[in-house]
Chain A
Amino acid sequence: MYAYTEFDRQFVRARAAQFRDQLDRHLAGSLPDDDFRALRLQNGWYVQRHAPMLRVAVPYGVLNAAQLHQLAAIARQHDRGYGHFTTRQNLQYNWIPLTQAADVMDKLADVDMHGIQTSGNCIRNITADALAGVAADEIVDSRPYAEVMRQWSTLHPEFAFLPRKFKIAVSGALEDRAAIAWHDVGLQLKKNAAGDVGFQVLVGGGMGRTPITGTEIRAFLPWNQILCYLEAIVRVYNRYGRRDNAYKARIKILVKAEGQKYFDAVEAEFQRILQEDVGAGLQLIPQAEFDRIAASFARPAGVVPAAATAAPAAGAPLAQDGTSLAFTRWLQRNVHAHQVPGYKAVTLSLKRAGLPPGDATADQMDAAAALSERFSLGELRVSHDQNLVLPWVKAAELPALFEAARAGGFATPNIGLLTDMINCPGGDFCALANARSIPVAAAITERFADLDEVYDIGDIDLHISGCINSCGHHHSGHIGILGVDKDGSEWYQVSLGGSDGSTLSGASVPGKVIGPSFAAEEVPDVIEAIIDVYRAQRLSGERFIDTVRRLGLAAFKAAADAQRHITGQTAAA
């Protein structure tokens, strides 16, 4: 991972000191709520239902064991002993008293961490492929580029108060594991025929009330121009993005309203930056600087390609009896191809009965950190779908890792399956939410507790958001569930056919709502009815998303409507 220099370290300490000064003034009464809000947000501090929430940045999802141990210690000492990994690869705490906020920032700074720009109307923490640097299908390692952009966007003085939040995601692999088209800016690293590296640049994607996927503004931008190009994109947005209505303030609305005019304005601005501005060209990334950063991401010394060390044969009997099916399934779902022969990337599932999706207790954080120290050179990743990944596992050690992960509760072999659902914290914690999402996720997890059944259903993306802000990415789920508030009670809208842009899911597209919202109690029945239609109607080998596309919504809608034990009566009355 990126090795902090003394400058980087002092920078984070300075930010913590600056925040302490602001917090002190706030607590002393000289910095009122209205003024403090935007300052604390840009350090990751929300005020939600019960207590402040802190969102800690995990830049492009890369984490080391020492950091995760520290996150566990903070959970224990300042929170109620747990945290929540988010779809943007960050970690959230829910119960830290504001009076302890500055101390927590100091403790984060001790391990090169912070909450800079994890909230607020600024350029947010940049997300990336959780398998960057290890993926078998990688074209270009996105991490050094993400780090260059992290540095550029950090405390950018011109872009700290944009019309609305601004999210950048980058992928460098054939498979899009970062849902880039759903971001304000989506970047796909490519190589041209000459082998030069560049970015395909998408702009104007986003979820929320108006789900739109990004549009290509550049097919191939030379890599070293990316900072100037981003500056042009964000500057035009800062000048012309709407500020009269928060729901129409994202860049997607500007891009949609202006179309080609916006693209032309960005290109013109880009040219002027390069040709006219003081220091023109200074932000073109020199090869030496790229090399300095990329050196941090060189393959770790301990990684030695093994000559085709075969993974233990699936189904081979293990020392421990009765585990072979579980182990086979785990190999199939949680273990991923690696670019180094003899190595695998392994997902530690944070989707298991009894805990909200993406949650980890302090003990589990320590356990995951210990697993990374034993099996993955002390490195972990946070994935976009709210799991942890060990990127450097020797194939020969998979059986030992399986046993250890199972003991830690991380070995649920459900990655990509129904119970590997994406879920926001919802109304249990979040002040923005219209409805709770955790109980819905729990009810569905309970309903589909039979792993055989979950395997039979196969690949499916179930995404749950507690409100239209879409933190649970309901728009991109094959099945999306959205919490809505009607007359002060909780209802759930169900949509089908959404895609995050992965090969399996097809081109990024928002799902379609299948009718009026359902009561909370009906949701598990509705999901089951939808799944039953799929299982009855699927062709041999056909995945859920493909059946939905082939059949259309009507059959699913009819089956879902048949579950209206509560909403049906209301409608009839």
Chain B
Amino acid sequence: MKFIDTHHDQWQTAGGEDGPQPHPPVRAHTLLTLEQWHAVRDTWPADVPAGVIVANTVDIETLASDLPRLGLLVLQFPKWVDGRAYTQARLLRARYRFAGEVRATGDVLVDMVPLLQRTGFDAVQLRHDQKQAAAERALGFFSGHYQGDVPQPKPAFARDVAAELAAKRQADAEQFAGQGI
């Protein structure tokens, strides 16, 4: 999971004084609103990476033909308990094989990070008050899960969960090795 620091992010929005520019200029790593993307997609060069911010009410199906041209999709959590973007991410990965970055923004808590990772997000912009260390700890509790997900499409019954458990214990032990515990 990549943690995004907006001050050091290569992706930049194309805003103007009065909000998003209606027809932004071609520039690598431009992060566009869906409206902006619709305005430029017919002329946007294939070799210039573009990203799109997608509201959680958008049907991912409507973006299907654009996906091969996009390097980043930013999905939104207007409230952290609104879980629509999990479905969007899962469909992007499992159904449309989207290989670019899928990033979570908005009201994103550290405790969501395991769910984000499992539904196909690979980058997250945490809410300003959230600690990255806590998010990383949140990723470490489980050796595996019952149902298949994006990183691991096989459900528990199709995997060697005993081996996973042993590997997790080994990793946990190594983490404490040399710490005198």
Contacts and interface: CB of A to CB of B under 8 A. Distances in A.
A35 B80 CA distance: 8
Interface stretch (B9-17, B66-74, B83-91): B83-91
Interface stretch (B22-30, B37-45, B110-118, B173-181): B110-118
Nearest to A18: B141
Interface stretch (A44-52, A273-281, A548-556): A273-281
A154 B143 CA distance: 14
A238 interface: yes
A158 B83 contact: yes
Given A161-B81, A162-B83, A22 B143 contact: no
Interface in A394-448: none
A276 B95 contact: yes
Given A14-B143, A155-B145, A277-B94, A160 B86 contact: yes
Interface in A147-171: 151-152, 154-162
Contact of B86 (A5, A157, A276): A157
Interface in B130-181: 131, 134, 137-138, 141-150, 153-158, 161-162, 164-165
A158 B141 CA distance: 18
Contacts of A15: 141-142
Contacts of B145: 11, 154-155, 157
Given A161-B81, A279-B94, A156 B147 contact: yes
Given A25-B134, A157-B115, A282 B143 contact: no
Nearest to A150: B146
A235 B87 contact: yes
Given A160-B86, A160-B115, A7 B156 contact: yes
Contact of A238 (B83, B118, B149, B165): B83
A282 B150 CA distance: 12
B86 A283 contact: no
A229 to B, nearest CB: 14
A39 interface: yes
Contacts of A277: 94-95
B82 interface: yes
A278 B161 CA distance: 21
A22 B113 CA distance: 13
B148 A158 contact: no
A152 B146 contact: yes
Identify which of A22, A121, A161 gathers the most chain B CB atoms within 10 Å of its CB.
A161
B81 A157 contact: no
A59 B174 CA distance: 36
Interface string A12-25: 00110110011001
B125 interface: no
B95 to A, nearest CB: 5
A301 to B, nearest CB: 26
Contacts of A18: 138, 141-142
A7 B161 contact: yes
A239 B87 contact: yes
Given A10-B165, A156-B147, A282 B153 contact: yes
Interface residues of A, number: 44
A10 B143 contact: yes
A6 B142 CA distance: 13
B148 A39 contact: no
B119 A7 contact: no
B115 A11 contact: no
A289 interface: yes
A299 interface: no
A486 interface: no
A80 interface: no
Interface string A222-242: 000001000000010011000
Nearest to B150: A278
A288 to B, nearest CB: 8
A157 B84 contact: no
A13 to B, nearest CB: 9
B52 interface: no
Given A18-B138, A155-B145, A283 B155 contact: yes
A418 to B, nearest CB: 41
Contact of B147 (A25, A152, A272): A152
Contacts of B114: 157
A405 to B, nearest CB: 38
A38 interface: yes
Contacts of B82: 161, 243
Contacts of A156: 147
A21 to B, nearest CB: 7
Contacts of A22: 111
B147 A283 contact: yes
B95 A158 contact: no
Contacts of A159: 83, 86
Identify which of A38, A157, A277 gathers the most chain B CB atoms within 10 Å of its CB.
A157
Contacts of A25: 134
A305 interface: no
Contacts of A30: 131, 134
A55 to B, nearest CB: 19
Given A6-B162, A25-B134, A282-B155, A39 B146 contact: no
B154 to A, nearest CB: 6
A292 to B, nearest CB: 8
A435 to B, nearest CB: 29
A81 B54 CA distance: 52
Nearest to B59: A239
B146 to A, nearest CB: 4
A39 B134 CA distance: 15
A97 interface: no
A282 B146 contact: no
Q: Top 10 nearest A-B pairs by Cβ distance?
A: A161-B83, A279-B153, A157-B118, A289-B157, A7-B161, A151-B146, A18-B141, A157-B115, A277-B94, A278-B94
Given A151-B146, A161-B82, A278-B97, 16 more contacts: A7-B161, A7-B164, A7-B165, A10-B165, A14-B143, A15-B141, A21-B138, A35-B109, A155-B146, A157-B147, A158-B90, A161-B81, A243-B84, A276-B95, A279-B154, A286-B158
19 contacts: A17-B141, A18-B142, A30-B131, A35-B109, A39-B111, A154-B145, A154-B147, A155-B146, A157-B118, A158-B119, A160-B83, A239-B59, A239-B87, A272-B95, A276-B95, A277-B94, A279-B94, A279-B148, A282-B153
Interface of B: 59, 80-84, 86-87, 90, 93-95, 97, 109, 111, 114-115, 118-119, 131, 134, 137-138, 141-150, 153-158, 161-162, 164-165
